[in-house]
Amino acid sequence: MEILAIEARKIKKGFDGNPVLKDVNFTLKAGEVHALVGQNGAGKSTLVKLINGYHQRDGGEIKVFGKASQFSSPKQAQLEGISMVYQDLSLISSLSVADNIFLTEQSKKSVLISNRERMKQAQPFLDMLDVDISPSQKVETLSVGEQQFIEIAKALAMNAKILVLDEPTASLSNNEINDLFKVISTLKEKGISIIYITHYLSDIMRICDAVTVLRDGYTVLEIQTKDTTIDELVEAMLGNKTSTNLTWERQALTQPSHTPLLELQNISTAELDDVSLTVMPGQVVGLAGLLGSGRTEILEAIYGLTPLTKGTLLVNGKEVKISSPRHAIETGINMVPEDRRSQGLVLDFSVEDNVLMASFDRISRSMVLDKSKGQMMVENTIKKLGVKTTGASQSVRFLSGGNQQKVVIGKCLSTDAKILLLDDPTFGIDINAKYEIMKIVNQYVAQGNGVIFVSSEYAEVGSFCDVIYVVNKGRIVNHYSGQRMTEEELLAAVQ
């Protein structure tokens, strides 16, 4: 009889009287790559945190390699061979690769070893991954993808037999994703079991052997990847049939006589060179490019985060000089930043405080806040964006990633901006929430507003945007208008 790496049966877990996991089953075979998917709030993070000892379950049983387990902490789980590689990496950039690999190990030991010996000990773990990284390199010199490999090597140094990878491709370029998949295949050959958490369903079809779908705290599908399709996974996640090939009909509001909402004329900064683009009323303008191409830098220049060294910025046909985000908001421009947790939210503030923090001037008179007006604005935002929360007073820290992003978008919409800069607004959000957010953006531009849209998913840019500018090394190198583009066409265009 085959011994499973992990066998979880009838798992239950709640917080403050609210059940999160109601009846979850999950099995992971030795040497298997097993995807764990579901909408935000389905219970994925809670399940893996129960497995690695971060939370304690309320009911059910978990076996690790056939042995009943109830870990009291992640450290105890590590001793039994379970390690998590989080989306937010935990490396110290100023230290070497070898230092980081043995960081946890060194904290447990008082024995000092020479740098040469540490490099020698680190090399086998890098060799296991078949990556060309020197143990003497500083972590700060590595790409995001390479840093992720160091996190995996660090787990192997702690004798990990089971790895949990949390959204491992979210911040990677296409080449880095291919490299990561090679590493995962290598680990699989060595008998390492992997739980793979992702919102990118195409990743699952490429690299995973099996998939488990959670919905509303229940396991609703356990299946081998070869026996399923993306459409079937989406149906399981949502509980109904939904096409994954979304099309967006947008009535053209632009006439030749219309004044552009926003126009960049030969803009340059320390990172950009001679960038020109136009946003007309009713348009979603996409910026497509590889990681580090300059897409985010264009948004930062518009939003006043980066000073211009050359060029002109016009809003409604009038030249403006935006020196700060506050000035941008006053000019009618707002931005959903790439990193919602550190740039878009105050995590320990409530949903209400986060939604209203950019709009206090709109709900106050003579320095007195109109609380009822503010509460109405927040309630409308929660309802309109479908934010899953126990209430407006709940701390955003305890919302799922997708619901946190919805709060950021709600905050920006509350400022009555005419131009929204969206930097990867659907990052880390399940497919249903993506559709809801893109539908809101569609309704927003239908009112004569404009959007600049950046996404790490080329299929979104190609299907959603009216005009697409291709960015490469800080320059606009091409643009397409009046047509929808496939993921393959756009990927070829940005190379």
Q: What is the pLDDT of residues 216-266, one digit of tens each?
A: 889 999 999 999 998 888 888 877 654 445 556 555 555 555 799 999 999
Q: Pick the residue with more confidence: 364 or 74? A: 74
476: left (phi over 0), alpha (psi -120 to 50) or beta: beta
Q: Over 90: is that where the pLDDT of 212 sits?
A: yes
In the block, residue with structure tokens 């929808």: 484
Same domain, 299 and 207: no
Q: Out of 110-114, 115-119, 221-225, 325-329, pick the least confident.
A: 110-114
Rounded-to-integer distance, Cα 418 and Cα 448, Å: 8
Do the domain assignments include residue 246?
no
Q: Pick the residue with more confidence: 47 or 249? A: 47
Q: What is the pLDDT of residue 39?
A: 75
Q: Pick the residue with more confidence: 367 or 386? A: 386
Same domain, 198 and 273: no
Do the domain assignments include residue 224?
yes
How close are the terminal C-alpha atoms of the chain, in Å?
49
Position 428 confidence tier, pLDDT thresholds 50, 70, 90? low
Pairing of the two strands 162-166 and 193-197: parallel
Q: Determine the average pLDDT of the residues in 194-221.
A: 91
Same domain, 73 and 167: yes
Q: Over 70: is that where the pLDDT of 366 sits?
A: no
Position 108 confidence tier, pLDDT thresholds 50, 70, 90? very low
Do the domain assignments include residue 256?
no
Instruction: Identify the top-confidence range among 23-32, 102-111, 382-391.
Output: 23-32
Same domain, 63 and 102: yes
Helix (H) and strand (E) counts in the chain: 17, 22
Q: What is the pLDDT of residue 287?
A: 95
Same domain, 229 and 275: no
Alpha-carbon distance values, 140 to 95, 137, 200 (Å): 8, 8, 27
Decide: pTM greater than 0.75. no
Same domain, 74 and 221: yes
Q: What is the pLDDT of residue 384?
A: 81
Do the domain assignments include residue 217?
yes
Same domain, 232 and 267: no
Rounded-to-integer distance, Cα 32 and Cα 30, Å: 5
Instruction: Identify the top-confidence range among 105-109, 138-142, 315-319.
Output: 315-319
Do the domain assignments include residue 396?
yes
Q: Out of 80-84, 116-120, 357-361, pick the least confident.
A: 357-361
Q: What is the CATH number of the domain that holds 112?
A: 3.40.50.300
Q: Determine the average pLDDT of the residues in 415-436.
A: 83
Q: What is the pLDDT of residue 243?
A: 47
Q: Over 80: is that where the pLDDT of 93 sits?
A: yes
Same domain, 220 and 94: yes
Alpha-carbon distance values, 461 to 191, 254, 295, 456, 465 (Å): 38, 20, 12, 9, 6
Position 102 confidence tier, pLDDT thresholds 50, 70, 90? confident
> In which domain, by residue range, is 313 found?
262-494
Same domain, 274 and 227: no
Tokens for 160, please give them: 């990990």
Q: How many domains does the chain have?
A: 2
Do the domain assignments include residue 254?
no
Q: Out of 89-98, 107-116, 194-203, 272-281, pick the least confident.
A: 107-116
C-beta separation of 450 from 441 below 8 A: no
Pairing of the two strands 33-37 and 18-29: unpaired
Do the domain assignments include residue 248?
no
Mean pLDDT of all residues belonging to the chain: 86
Same domain, 34 and 129: yes
Q: What is the pLDDT of residue 380?
A: 87
Q: Over 90: is that where the pLDDT of 418 sits?
A: yes
Q: Out of 14-28, 228-242, 470-484, pick the least confident.
A: 228-242
Same domain, 176 and 300: no
Rounded-to-integer distance, Cα 319 and Cα 313, Å: 6
Same domain, 290 and 429: yes
Do the domain assignments include residue 174?
yes
Q: Pick the residue with more confidence: 114 or 30? A: 30
Q: Over 50: is that where the pLDDT of 110 sits?
A: no
